[in-house]
Amino acid sequence: MIPPDEELASLKERCAVLEAENQAYARYIRAKTNQLLEIMETRALQAEELDDRALLDLDPIGIVAQSFQQILGHLNRTIDELREARAGERELREYYLTEKMKLATVIESLSEGLLVLDEQNRILSCNRAADELTQWLTTEMLGQPIGAGFPEMENALRKNAGDAQNLELVHRSRAGEDLLLSVNIARLRDSEGRRLGRVVTFRDSTEERRRTELYHRTEKLAAIGQLSAGVAHELNTPLGSVLGYARLLLKDKTLNATQRAWVEIIAEQVKKSSAIIQGLLRFARQSNPARRCLEECRLNEIIAQTLPLLATETAKRKIELITDLQAVPAIVADPRELEQVVLNLTMNALQAIGNKGRISIRTRHAGARVVLKVEDSGPGIPEPIRSRIFDPFYTTKPVGEGTGLGLSICSGIVGDLGGSIDVSSVEGQGTTFIVSLPVHANGASNVPKNRKIS
């Protein structure tokens, strides 16, 4: 049996060992806890804040480990949410890219030109149609002010600060062609209504305007033609009677010189009135194709037969008449009407020149068309009246020198044959009338005729 004193001493020694081990363990726990706190960027534990026994009872490593476990769980959930968000963002990005490609395809396929401008009217983007219509809106113009190549549009933008619809402006393309453009302007804004710039769309309405004017002119011609036919027939009978009695009076031997002169004046004025009426009747014939005698015609031959009728007039006016008639196929027309077209256009050129000048008549074969050009060195036609020269009864000649029917008759004849007549004129440099007629399917070429008539 161990004595009590020895047993007590052994217990004390054992307690001292355990105390030393507890202190060492507490220091270890405190050090490791402070390391974890440092990693978490938290202030280290101080000795006075937590003694060794309280530290061991608290189990800070367990608490930190549990916190890390919670953090890890939260991080895992966050990662899953981020993955889902990224997948949604990817789908959203793909959706927006798809919609952007759709919009770009629609814009590029538009037949109307489209411009996107900033607040300073600089070009941000344009579509293919805009480039084709203007012939200058290439990528090198992006970022440049629109006035650099499109001054007419810049003027329209200045005059219209807000939205505008169906504005009309004339633009000269790079090729020098004047285009009538129909323009729409709309404000470009962000989601909060702030101004970002403007969107401009435009289309070429030149041909549309030309067709509309042709339609209205055709209606006008038809109405005036019917009226003219009625008036002409009503006037022919009394004028015929006046002329007949005038001729009978001229046979009267009892008339003195003064009376005979008066009767001759009456007869001469009746003849002039009859000529005007014949013009009315020719004009009225345009709306009655049944009265035409269509046959295969040789345009060069008709020109050669018609021009000698004007030889005296050209010589008197000292006007040089030059022809350049190339080989052209036959056309189907009424030869008398073709003669009327050639005569009217040449007479119009003679009257425009007045005295001393040059008239050039040329024919060409252009694909399925035969082209006749009558060019004069006259004063040209002022721009404001060019659109009216084919209107019936419109003339700029002095009273008594023209009826205003010559060009109207030409336009009607050529139009009924499926052709077209256009005019090109520069003031001070002369005028060219261009007649285009369809080729007869079985027509052969004419023999070229090139000669000079003065």
pLDDT-based confidence at residue 359 (cuts at 50, 70, 90): very high
The whole-angstrom separation of Cα 278 and Cα 403 is 11
For the chain, how many residues are written? 454
Who contacts 115 (Cβ-Cβ below 8 Å, separation ≥6)?
123, 125, 126, 130, 137, 146, 153, 199, 200, 201, 202
Q: Does pLDDT of 225 surpass 70?
A: no
Q: Which parts of 177-299 are beta strand (E)?
A: 178-189, 195-204, 295-297
Q: Does pLDDT of 357 surpass 50?
A: yes
The whole-angstrom separation of Cα 393 and Cα 386 is 14
Please tell me the predicted confidence (pLDDT) of residue 448.
36
pLDDT-based confidence at residue 362 (cuts at 50, 70, 90): very high
CA 412 distance to own-chain centroid: 29
pLDDT-based confidence at residue 398 (cuts at 50, 70, 90): low
Please indicate whether residue 78 or residue 322 has the higher confidence score (pLDDT).
322
What's the average model confidence in pLDDT over 247-253? 86
pLDDT-based confidence at residue 366 (cuts at 50, 70, 90): confident
Q: Which parts of 211-349 are beta strand (E)?
A: 295-297, 319-325, 331-333
What's the average model confidence in pLDDT over 364-383? 89
Please tell me the predicted confidence (pLDDT) of residue 222.
65
The whole-angstrom separation of Cα 33 and Cα 54 is 14
Please tell me the predicted confidence (pLDDT) of residue 78.
81
The answer to whether the beta carbons of residues 332 and 442 sit under 8 Å apart is: no
The CATH homologous superfamily to which domain 292-438 belongs is: Histidine kinase-like ATPase, C-terminal domain (3.30.565.10)
DSSP 223: H
Residue range 30-75, pLDDT digits in tens:
777 777 667 666 666 666 666 666 666 656 556 666 666 776 777 7
pTM of the model: 0.45
Please tell me the predicted confidence (pLDDT) of residue 9.
76
* Unique residue bearing structure tokens 């476990």: 69
The whole-angstrom separation of Cα 294 and Cα 310 is 25
The whole-angstrom separation of Cα 407 and Cα 219 is 16
Residue range 307-337, pLDDT digits in tens:
888 888 888 888 898 999 999 999 998 888 8
Q: Which parts of 127-244 are beta strand (E)?
A: 164-172, 178-189, 195-204
Please indicate whether residue 363 or residue 59 has the higher confidence score (pLDDT).
363
Please indicate whether residue 225 or residue 117 has the higher confidence score (pLDDT).
117
Decide yes or no: CATH 3.30.450.20 for domain 108-208. yes
What's the average model confidence in pLDDT over 269-292? 64
Residue 33: burial class (beta carbons within 10 Å; 0-12, 13-18, 19+): buried
The whole-angstrom separation of Cα 151 and Cα 296 is 51
pLDDT-based confidence at residue 292 (cuts at 50, 70, 90): low
- H or E, element range at 323: strand 319-325
Burial code (b: 16+ CB inside 10 Å, e: under 16) for 179-202 equals: bbbbbbbeeeeeeeeeeebbbbbb
> Which amino acid does the sequence have at 296?
E
The answer to whether the beta carbons of residues 128 and 137 sit under 8 Å apart is: no
The whole-angstrom separation of Cα 130 and Cα 168 is 16
47-51, 184-188, 420-424: least confidently modelled range: 47-51
Residue range 103-127, pLDDT digits in tens:
777 777 777 888 888 888 888 888 8
- H or E, element range at 311: helix 311-317
Q: Does pLDDT of 8 surpass 80?
A: no
- Tell me the domain boundaries of the chain: 10-58, 108-208, 292-438
The per-residue pLDDT of the chain, averaged, comes to 77
What is the percent of the chain with per-residue pLDDT over 90, rounded to a whole number?
Answer: 7
Residue range 154-178, pLDDT digits in tens:
788 877 777 888 888 887 777 677 7
Backbone phi, psi, residue 287, to 5°: -95, 10
Q: Which parts of 377-448 are beta strand (E)?
A: 420-426, 430-438
Which SS3 state, helix, strand or coil, does residue 127 take? coil
The whole-angstrom separation of Cα 240 and Cα 249 is 14
Q: Does pLDDT of 28 surpass 80?
A: no
The whole-angstrom separation of Cα 218 and Cα 196 is 47
Please tell me the predicted confidence (pLDDT) of residue 224.
67
Residue range 137-146, pLDDT digits in tens:
555 677 788 7
The whole-angstrom separation of Cα 405 and Cα 403 is 5
